[in-house]
């Protein structure tokens, strides 16, 4: 029982045996200390807190996209394992960002405030959702730390507890100062966020920056050693020529699109070819095109250039129209010949859509020519895509390119003067922004500073003589920048809280409606509770410190009640969410008060209070029913016996995986996606949602603790929902416990549990080759931490024999059973034998004793 309530997992048989054989009278206390030092302790404690914090891995509304806040979950686990004082635990979550020089951990802790559901839905009103978020946060704070239903005061004075509507909005004012956009943009991370750099990240980035700095130094020294005035070809004139971009193949790097039919390159005597060995043929009955895009850097367009393409029209099947289209930022650059039958570009920019004459004569090669300016292409731009379009007929297309005097990809300028003449004609359109600005000046006589900038750019990127020297350095630099980007992208980020720079006024809202402000109020606490203090800051930090100053009458009692509930299944107050007049009275008020004061006296030591409870005589009582106690205490309200209740969903799954030898104890990280039925996410998702389709993980991720399961709020993990886990859309401090047939069917038949049973079966077969009774005993100890009695042993042996006989007669059923799930089969025993043990293991995992804390 201590192992289950402290770590959420059963005791290891070997450790249990050592404990039972320990003669020390303090053996149990040592066992408890051992459990609380386990990392599994923090994981189990965190699960309860995350229910209260309404932690989820998605936004919860509208698209319900994924959100990155899992570092907050890991912070809670770490805080529990490190036994962080509860006052610090409280302050850092509510107001860690307001502490002096907050650490990264303290900022991550403020993710508590960002765990509310949020939206980015079009048409949503930001002001309305800003109010909704603040309402959620103050209601959560009221439940988690004070056990009060403060939300009942949102629209009017509380009907039962002494909390007025004005006092509600005074509490509201503390959270009305968070700096965030109410519309989350459906983003994985929406500000404010923080990067969680590790020392390893810092070391990698520092090393990369040093290497990048070394390259820049080499570039500077190399540039300084060159004299642009002595470069060969200083005053050579540009030479006009055809630069062929498309011939027997597309340009390197081009992304082809075939439109309504595939690209067809043809060759041989049966087909016309203008140059090279191939042309590309297209036959159409209507409008048809083929094109390519994404060529980098593309064709460079000069002021006097001509774009061209050779065509041959089949005299027996001529088209009605031809069109050339050019891509430079968009496709609005088109020229056509023949009839106006092609729809592309109609109604677009007139300057980019030109009719250049009749169709060329059929039965011969003809060169179509387009002046870039006629179709809206300015000098200096680059063309990165080209489309060949026709309406009907059969057309052969061949060489296409640009008639130019300016260098293209793979070429360079022979002199600075040649290059400068080119960029002056294009007004610097192809230059970086800082160099383009120079062309607002007198470009005939650039100043010395401008000339130096232009000179460096020319030598590095344009000179036919020197640019190859720098290309290798640029390539190395790009590689390092890509590596640096990969490191930066690998750094986890998490959503955090931040206070507004300028305070926002807060008003009472008539009937709680966001657009009906009333009296202006300032941040304060309800009058029925101790005052905030004259020197206390009127912000979230002051609020958090007030909750844990040791004088608050509710915080310690409310938390102690929930800690008691974690171990006993119910609290000393059975309405942990409501300590008000409508809540239940404490069954043991003096005990509740004493534990609360002891906790404060201990320095809010959480492990101290857990140890105190589980080492108490009350906790260590036998949970078995006895007639004399059943009559007077049927619900165990007076603690006449030890706790007994069905375990929570996560405990059942984790225990099954652990017993089956499958549990992977990797800590932290992004949520994982174990088995679940297909189609559940899709049924509730918008098609554009990042969580529209469930993609199951593989390998170790299938067997992580349930704490780390990805939690989609609009479709929570179904196996856990069946066993009463919440959807995490709102704060929950007590789970219901239902008992339904679906639960039994799930635990017997779900692939995760059948696979766990198979793993358990393999473990059983490794416990020696003695009589079946010996293996049954080992199995029972592992499953429920006790030996079977003789009757149970014999019954289980008989069951195994019956199953074994059945599977020997039906080997295909045995094979199907022992291959369930992804985990590899490790045992060398036969399929019928393993299947028989799997059935016994499945039975043991479904015993009340295995599902119930007792």
In the predicted structure, residue 776 carries a pLDDT above the cut 60: yes
Give the percent of the chain with pLDDT over 90: 78
CA distance 825 to 761: 11
- Tell me what the mean pLDDT of segment 559-573 comes to: 98
In the predicted structure, residue 584 carries a pLDDT above the cut 50: yes
In the predicted structure, residue 782 carries a pLDDT above the cut 90: yes
**pLDDT class for 827, splitting at 50, 70, 90?**
confident
- Tell me what the mean pLDDT of segment 438-443 comes to: 60
15: helix, strand or coil: helix
In the predicted structure, residue 308 carries a pLDDT above the cut 80: yes
Strand partners, 386: 292, 326
CA distance 632 to 819: 51
> What is the phi/psi pair of residue 695, to 5°?
-115, 105
Q: Which CATH architecture has domain 227-465?
A: Sandwich (2.60)
Give per-residue burial for 634-655: e unless 16+ CB within 10 Å, then b: eebeebebbbbebbbbbbbbbb
**pLDDT class for 746, splitting at 50, 70, 90?**
very high
- Tell me what the mean pLDDT of segment 501-521 comes to: 97
**pLDDT class for 460, splitting at 50, 70, 90?**
confident
**pLDDT class for 735, splitting at 50, 70, 90?**
very high
In the predicted structure, residue 259 carries a pLDDT above the cut 50: yes
Give the percent of the chain with pLDDT over 70: 96
| Cβ within 8 Å of residue 38, ≥6 positions away | 7
**pLDDT class for 440, splitting at 50, 70, 90?**
low
In the predicted structure, residue 686 carries a pLDDT above the cut 70: yes
390: helix, strand or coil: strand
Q: Cβ(829)–Cβ(813) under 8 Å?
A: no
In the predicted structure, residue 594 carries a pLDDT above the cut 90: yes
Residue 260's pLDDT is 64
Task: Summarize pLDDT for 182-218 with one digit per residue, the tens.
Answer: 999 999 999 999 999 999 999 999 999 999 999 999 9
CA distance 699 to 796: 32
Mean residue pLDDT of the chain comes to: 92
- Tell me what the mean pLDDT of segment 825-839 comes to: 92
In the predicted structure, residue 232 carries a pLDDT above the cut 50: no
**pLDDT class for 465, splitting at 50, 70, 90?**
confident
Higher pLDDT, 28 or 628: 28
**pLDDT class for 235, splitting at 50, 70, 90?**
very low
């Amino acid at each position: 029982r201590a192992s289950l309530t402290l770590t959420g997992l059963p005791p290891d048989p070997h450790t249990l045996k050592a404990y039972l054989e320990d003669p020390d009278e303090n053996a149990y206390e040592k066992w408890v200390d051992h459990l609380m030092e386990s990392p599994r302790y923090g994981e189990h404690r965190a699960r309860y807190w995350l229910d209260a914090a309404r932690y989820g891995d998605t936004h919860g509304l509208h698209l319900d996209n994924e959100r990155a806040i899992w570092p907050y979950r890991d912070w809670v686990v770490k805080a529990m394992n490190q036994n962080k004082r509860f006052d610090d635990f409280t302050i850092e979550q509510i107001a860690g960002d307001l502490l002096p020089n907050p650490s990264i951990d303290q900022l991550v802790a403020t993710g508590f405030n960002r765990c509310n559901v949020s939206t980015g839905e079009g048409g949503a009103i930001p002001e309305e959702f800003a109010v909704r978020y603040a309402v959620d946060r103050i209601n959560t704070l009221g439940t988690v730390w004070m056990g009060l239903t403060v939300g009942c005061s949102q629209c009017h004075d509380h009907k039962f507890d002494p909390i007025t509507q004005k006092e509600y909005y005074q509490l509201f004012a503390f959270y009305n100062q968070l700096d965030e956009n109410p519309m989350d943009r459906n983003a994985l991370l929406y500000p404010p966020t923080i990067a969680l750099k590790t020392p390893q990240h810092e070391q990698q980035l520092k090393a990369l920056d040093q290497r990048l700095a070394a390259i820049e130094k080499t570039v500077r020294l190399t540039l300084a050693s060159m004299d642009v005035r002595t470069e060969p070809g200083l005053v050579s004139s540009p030479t006009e020529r055809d630069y062929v971009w498309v011939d027997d193949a597309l340009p390197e790097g081009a992304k082809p699109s075939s439109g309504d039919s595939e690209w067809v390159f043809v060759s041989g005597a049966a087909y016309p070819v203008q140059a090279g060995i191939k042309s590309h043929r297209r036959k159409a009955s209507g409008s048809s095109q083929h094109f390519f895009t994404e060529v980098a850097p593309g064709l460079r367009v000069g002021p006097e250039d001509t774009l061209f393409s050779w065509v041959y029209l089949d005299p027996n099947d001529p088209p009605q129209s031809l069109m050339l289209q050019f891509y430079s930022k968009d496709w609005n650059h088109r020229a056509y010949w023949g009839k106006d039958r092609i729809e592309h570009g109609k109604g677009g920019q007139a300057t980019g859509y030109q009719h250049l004459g009749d169709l060329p004569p059929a039965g011969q090669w003809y060169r179509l020519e387009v002046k870039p300016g006629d179709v809206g292409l300015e000098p200096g731009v680059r063309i990165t895509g080209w489309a060949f379009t026709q309406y009907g007929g059969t057309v052969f297309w061949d060489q296409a390119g640009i008639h130019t005097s300016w260098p293209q990809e793979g070429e360079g300028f022979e002199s600075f003067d040649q290059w400068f003449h080119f960029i002056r004609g294009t007004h610097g359109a192809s230059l970086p922004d800082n160099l383009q600005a120079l062309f607002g000046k007198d470009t005939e006589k650039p100043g010395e500073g401008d000339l130096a900038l232009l000179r460096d750019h020319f030598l590095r990127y344009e000179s036919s003589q020197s640019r190859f020297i720098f290309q290798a350095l640029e390539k190395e630099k790009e590689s390092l920048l890509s590596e640096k980007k990969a490191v930066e992208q690998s750094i986890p980020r998490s959503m955090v809280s931040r206070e507004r720079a300028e305070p926002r006024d807060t008003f009472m809202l008539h009937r709680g409606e966001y657009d009906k402000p009333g009296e202006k109020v300032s941040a304060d606490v309800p009058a029925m509770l101790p005052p905030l203090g004259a020197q206390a800051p009127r912000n979230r930090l002051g609020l958090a410190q007030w909750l844990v100053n040791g004088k608050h009458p509710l915080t310690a009692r409310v938390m102690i009640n929930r800690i008691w509930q974690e171990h006993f299944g119910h609290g000393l107050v059975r309405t942990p969410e409501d300590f008000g007049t409508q809540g239940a009275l404490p069954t043991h008020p003096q005990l509740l008060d004493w534990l609360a004061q002891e906790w404060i006296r201990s320095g809010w030591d959480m492990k101290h209070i857990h140890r105190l409870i589980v080492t108490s005589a009350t906790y260590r009582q036998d949970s078995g029913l006895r007639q004399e106690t059943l009559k007077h205490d049927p619900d165990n309200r007076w603690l006449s016996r030890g706790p007994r209740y069905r375990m929570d969903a996560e405990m059942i799954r984790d225990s099954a995986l652990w017993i089956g030898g499958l549990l992977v104890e990797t800590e932290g990280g992004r949520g994982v996606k174990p088995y679940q039925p297909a189609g559940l996410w899709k049924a509730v998702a918008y098609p554009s949602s990042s969580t529209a389709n469930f993609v199951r993980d593989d390998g170790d991720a299938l067997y992580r603790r349930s704490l780390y399961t990805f939690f989609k709020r609009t479709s929570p993990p179904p196996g856990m929902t069946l066993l009463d886990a919440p959807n995490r859309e709102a704060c929950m401090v007590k789970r219901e416990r239902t008992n339904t047939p679906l639960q039994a069917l799930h635990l017997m038949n779900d692939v995760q549990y059948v696979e766990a049973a198979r793993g358990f079966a393999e473990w059983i077969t490794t416990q020696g080759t003695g009589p079946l009774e010996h293996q049954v005993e080992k199995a029972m100890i592992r499953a429920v931490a006790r030996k079977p009695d003789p009757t149970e042993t014999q019954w289980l042996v008989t069951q195994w024999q019956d199953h074994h006989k059945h599977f020997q007669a039906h080997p295909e059923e045995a094979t199907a059973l022992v291959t369930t799930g992804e985990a590899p089969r490790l045992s060398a025993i036969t399929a019928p034998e393993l299947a028989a043990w799997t059935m016994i293991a499945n039975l043991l995992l479904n015993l009340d004793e295995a599902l119930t804390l007792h």
